[in-house]
Chains A and B, each alone.
Chain A
Amino acid sequence: MDILANLALGFSVALSPFTLFLAVCGCFLGTIIGALPGLGPSNGVAILIPITFTLGLDATSALVLMTSVYYGAMYGGRISSILLNIPGDEPALMTTLDGYPMAKQGRAGDALVLSGVASFVGALLATVGLMLLAPTLARVAFFFGPAEYFALYLLAFCTLGGMASNNQAKAALAACMGLGIAMIGVDSSSGLPRLTGGNLHLFDGIDFLVAIVGLFAIAEVFFFIESHGKGSSIGVKLDKVRIPWKDIMATKWTMLRASGVGFIAGILPGAGASLGSFLAYMTEKSIAGEKGGFGTGVPKGVAAPEAGNNSAAGGALVPMLTLGVPGSGTTAVLLALLMTLNITPGPTLFTEKADVVWGLIASLLIANVVLLLMNVPMVKIFVKILSVPAWVLLPGVTMISFVGIYSLSGSYFDLLLMVGFGVLGYILRKLDVPTVPVILGILLGGKMEDALRRAMTLSDGDPIYLFSSPIAIGLWVAAIAGFVAPMFLRGVLKKPPAVTD
């Protein structure tokens, strides 16, 4: 068995006391980075890169440290999503939808353990997938041109309507706001600045972390101020943490399916973990149907996005290693790290630098086990930090948000922008407009526009080009079905529901 021999080689490289120590450090730091609003995996890894240089780590050690931070952040993001309703990083966005309601029902411990297990399953399957299939899967990227990418992003937006079950128009409005915000910055297809008002700070566009922290964390602070600290939604009580075997067994198929969906989304360059968790959640939601109760705090709604985003994180490594094309923001930073270590990812990496690749895969497996051990029994510690009274916690969240966002680019402008988003988030929530679609609009809108512009350039503006391949047509069909089906199925499946909320 070639793979077993390779894996043995990998473990022989990665399994030294020093690298194990690095893996534990990386996992711990990563979990915290993920849990803190405003510090996502990509800037977490970026911040730590100078440390690997200063410590003079060799290629394998540096990779072990960075990948355990990367996986750790993917685990950690869920903690503040579930306990505070503030996503710790962008892929954890979808976890707020069911995780927080579940926590409010007094099942915060269950939600955390369940999502930890789901993260483990997702990450493990993705690592196995990476191990077995990477060289083959790399070819998938060759089948995705501009038309296919456009259809893929369209699919994501078309299923958005089904997300906010009480008012689809408001979800659509919110998505449009996100799309509008995504247009700010230098337009990649013409090189001209748009909606920047000549301000250099806006040339790179608006970082979605600024938007997330503003819309969620800062808006929460405004609500807190308004209510003078009474009746704040923050500060979930946590009882005994038990392992919810029943929920884990009940969601096993959800985890497997979500891992599959997430992995595929991760493999596609540019789609990334956020799209992975979103598609995983929406797939499970449509499978469960109206009776599934998604959005009200069901275990499946917690397991799906977490399995999805962790397996997408693993999937994103496939194009990064085999093609040198990063599948997400964080892998773009990891790619830069590899380049500075004189390792050029590409089709020949698996054969030429077998020790590095298999060492990396082994370290991913190690990190994953460490993270499961760390996150399930130790979940109480993380929860303790977050279950302090709201009047202590919120100033802390505010401080962390400001420091985290300032560390992005070191400019006060982002802080002003963040407060602006906080005001926007406050107003939107007062109007009962969901904020999640705004973020998705910002995250995916720019990429969707790029894909469309490229397709139009290649085809001389001929829209037929968008339907020119079987993959594109398949995605279009799925997108239209995803958009139309909820409208009709709702009437067919059951009587118009009485308004309960």
Chain B
Amino acid sequence: MTQRFFKALMTSAVLSAGLAGGAYAAECIAPANPGGGWDFTCRQIGKIMYDIGAVDQPVQVTNMPGAGGGLAYNHVVSERADDSDVVIAASSATTTRLAQNAYAGMTADQVRFVGAIGADPGVIAVAADSEYQTLGDLVEAIKADPGSVAFAGGSAVGGFDHLKPLMILKEAGFTDITSVKYIGVDGGADAITQTVGGFTQAMTGDMSEIVSFLANGDIRVIAVLTEERVPGFDDIPTAKEQGFDVVAVNWRGLYVPKDISDAKFDEWAGKLQQVADSDEWAQAMADNGLAPFTKVGGDFQAYVDGLVAEINAMSKELGVLQ
């Protein structure tokens, strides 16, 4: 009975929050449980779209966890292919998994990527007492003896956190990427404890994961993987200015079903652009450690295609993909 009471309570809560106005409300699918990054994307973007008047009805958020986003992807590809009232939260993890064929054979061209409007910058960090002062020191040490440096990161082997140091090493002319040690642990904070504890020599992750450890002085960030230094963290050098032209950010964005009309696609792109330009979004990004990163429409589709190709090639080289 209690269970039903819950369901009733939740349903009414969702209804009152999401469907107050009636039919034709747009839906945003977060392919994960409440609380994570994709859930944040749906709730924030949906709320701001309504607040600034880009949509008439509040956007309804549906959580559809499973298979690292694969269940939602499958649902959209096979059942909602021409539904123009649905958008789905996506991030770098979506493209990484697509590139590595982790969605059971589904490919990136089965949906259309609308845009990204914010990004969590990639970082490489070491323990505060580490001998490595710059990214160059670290790269040289790996070049001299690949076994001397182990990385810890929050994603599985072959995941985006793993690929970040590999992109840097490839840029530096080091090609034997399978010899680089990496362990995937349960999230960025865990990766930091392993690094501070001395079990690994460097941590690879996102800016938002390291902020409080940075304030505490446990770690040093030796590179941020953005075009320019991140506002608020102006003393952290980019990899680019240290001579390694690598940009790797965990972008937050949306995709839509493949078979919607071009007009509808452009409409969603326009709404997303409106959110990107709003003060509310600027505030939401500042609160959540995101840096500005706006690519919307056809521009973004090209970026995603490039990313998928690059990760695909690297994953084959790593052996995580045949």
Q: Does B64 contact A (CB under 8 A)?
A: yes
A-B contact pairs, 12 of them (CB 8 A): A39-B3, A186-B156, A189-B157, A190-B320, A269-B186, A323-B189, A324-B189, A346-B211, A347-B215, A348-B212, A348-B215, A403-B7
Closest A residue to B33 by beta carbon equals: A46
CA distance A203 to B97 in the complex (A): 12
Q: If the complex has contacts A186-B102, A191-B100, are A336 and B13 also in contact, measured as CB distance less than 8 A?
A: no
Excluding A51-B13, A346-B215, 8 further A-B contacts by CB distance (< 8 Å) are: A36-B2, A145-B199, A191-B320, A204-B67, A325-B190, A326-B186, A337-B35, A344-B212
B156 touches A191 (CB 8 A): yes
Cβ–Cβ < 8 Å partners of A458 in chain B: 150, 181, 183, 199-200
Q: Does A124 contact B (CB under 8 A)?
A: no
Contact residues of B between 1 and 48, Cβ < 8 Å to A: 2-4, 6-7, 9-10, 13-14, 16-17, 33-36, 39-40, 43
A134 to chain B minimum Cβ distance, whole angstroms, is 14
B1 to chain A minimum Cβ distance, whole angstroms, is 9
Q: Mark B184-215, 1 if CB is under 8 A from A, else 0.
A: 11110110111011111000000011011101
Closest A residue to B14 by beta carbon equals: A50
B36 touches A336 (CB 8 A): yes
**Pick the contact of B10 from A50, A144, A193, A200 — CB < 8 Å?**
A50
Q: Does B306 contact A (CB under 8 A)?
A: no
Interface residues of B (CB under 8 A from A): 2-4, 6-7, 9-10, 13-14, 16-17, 33-36, 39-40, 43, 64-68, 70-71, 74, 100, 102-105, 147, 150, 156-159, 181-187, 189-190, 192-194, 196-200, 208-209, 211-213, 215-216, 218, 287-289, 320
Q: Does A231 contact B (CB under 8 A)?
A: no
Q: Which 4 A-B pairs have the closest CB atoms?
A: A346-B212, A336-B35, A145-B199, A324-B189
B111 to chain A minimum Cβ distance, whole angstroms, is 16
B267 to chain A minimum Cβ distance, whole angstroms, is 28
B205 to chain A minimum Cβ distance, whole angstroms, is 12
A200 touches B70 (CB 8 A): yes
Closest A residue to B284 by beta carbon equals: A342
**Pick the contact of A404 from B3, B66, B182 — CB < 8 Å?**
B3
CA distance A458 to B186 in the complex (A): 16
Cβ–Cβ < 8 Å partners of A423 in chain B: none
A333 touches B35 (CB 8 A): yes
CA distance A188 to B3 in the complex (A): 34
B320 touches A141 (CB 8 A): no
B192 to chain A minimum Cβ distance, whole angstroms, is 8
A188 touches B213 (CB 8 A): no
Q: Does A198 contact B (CB under 8 A)?
A: yes
Q: If the complex has contacts A345-B212, A454-B183, are A50 and B3 also in contact, measured as CB distance less than 8 A?
A: no
Cβ–Cβ < 8 Å partners of A333 in chain B: 33, 35
Contact residues of A between 111 and 168, Cβ < 8 Å to B: 141-146
A191 touches B189 (CB 8 A): no
Cβ–Cβ < 8 Å partners of B187 in chain A: 324-326
B183 touches A144 (CB 8 A): no
Closest A residue to B36 by beta carbon equals: A336
Q: Which of A46, A51, A199, A347 has the most CB of B within 10 A?
A: A347
Q: If the complex has contacts A51-B10, A403-B3, are A143 and B66 also in contact, measured as CB distance less than 8 A?
A: no
A198 touches B216 (CB 8 A): no
Q: If the complex has contacts A145-B197, A458-B183, are A50 and B34 also in contact, measured as CB distance less than 8 A?
A: yes
A434 to chain B minimum Cβ distance, whole angstroms, is 29
Contact residues of A between 302 and 332, Cβ < 8 Å to B: 323-326
Q: If the complex has contacts A192-B320, A400-B3, are A347 and B216 also in contact, measured as CB distance less than 8 A?
A: yes
B104 to chain A minimum Cβ distance, whole angstroms, is 5
Q: If the complex has contacts A142-B196, A191-B156, A347-B212, are A200 and B64 also in contact, measured as CB distance less than 8 A?
A: no
**Pick the contact of B193 from A39, A49, A187, A269 — CB < 8 Å?**
A269
Interface residues of A (CB under 8 A from B): 29, 32, 36, 39, 46-47, 49-51, 53-54, 141-146, 186-193, 198-201, 203-204, 269-270, 323-326, 333, 336-337, 339-340, 342, 344-349, 400, 403-404, 407, 409-411, 453-454, 457-458, 460
CA distance A347 to B213 in the complex (A): 6
**Pick the contact of B35 from A270, A340, A403, A409 — CB < 8 Å?**
A340
**Pick the contact of B13 from A50, A141, A188, A409 — CB < 8 Å?**
A50
Cβ–Cβ < 8 Å partners of A192 in chain B: 320
CA distance A345 to B36 in the complex (A): 15
Closest A residue to B187 by beta carbon equals: A325
CA distance A337 to B35 in the complex (A): 6
A336 touches B70 (CB 8 A): no
**Pick the contact of B157 from A29, A49, A190, A323 — CB < 8 Å?**
A190
A411 touches B66 (CB 8 A): yes
Closest A residue to B185 by beta carbon equals: A454
B3 touches A410 (CB 8 A): no
B214 to chain A minimum Cβ distance, whole angstroms, is 9
CA distance A485 to B187 in the complex (A): 38
**Pick the contact of A325 from B100, B159, B193 — CB < 8 Å?**
B193
Q: If the complex has contacts A189-B156, A190-B157, A342-B288, are A49 and B186 also in contact, measured as CB distance less than 8 A?
A: no
CA distance A333 to B193 in the complex (A): 20
Cβ–Cβ < 8 Å partners of A47 in chain B: 6, 10
Closest A residue to B71 by beta carbon equals: A200
Q: Which of B68, B150, B183, B196 has the most CB of A within 10 A?
A: B183
B33 to chain A minimum Cβ distance, whole angstroms, is 6
Cβ–Cβ < 8 Å partners of B183 in chain A: 146, 189, 453-454, 457-458
Q: If the complex has contacts A142-B197, A348-B212, are A457 and B35 also in contact, measured as CB distance less than 8 A?
A: no
**Pick the contact of A339 from B35, B71, B218 — CB < 8 Å?**
B35
A200 touches B185 (CB 8 A): no
Cβ–Cβ < 8 Å partners of A323 in chain B: 189, 192-193
B184 touches A203 (CB 8 A): no
A478 to chain B minimum Cβ distance, whole angstroms, is 21
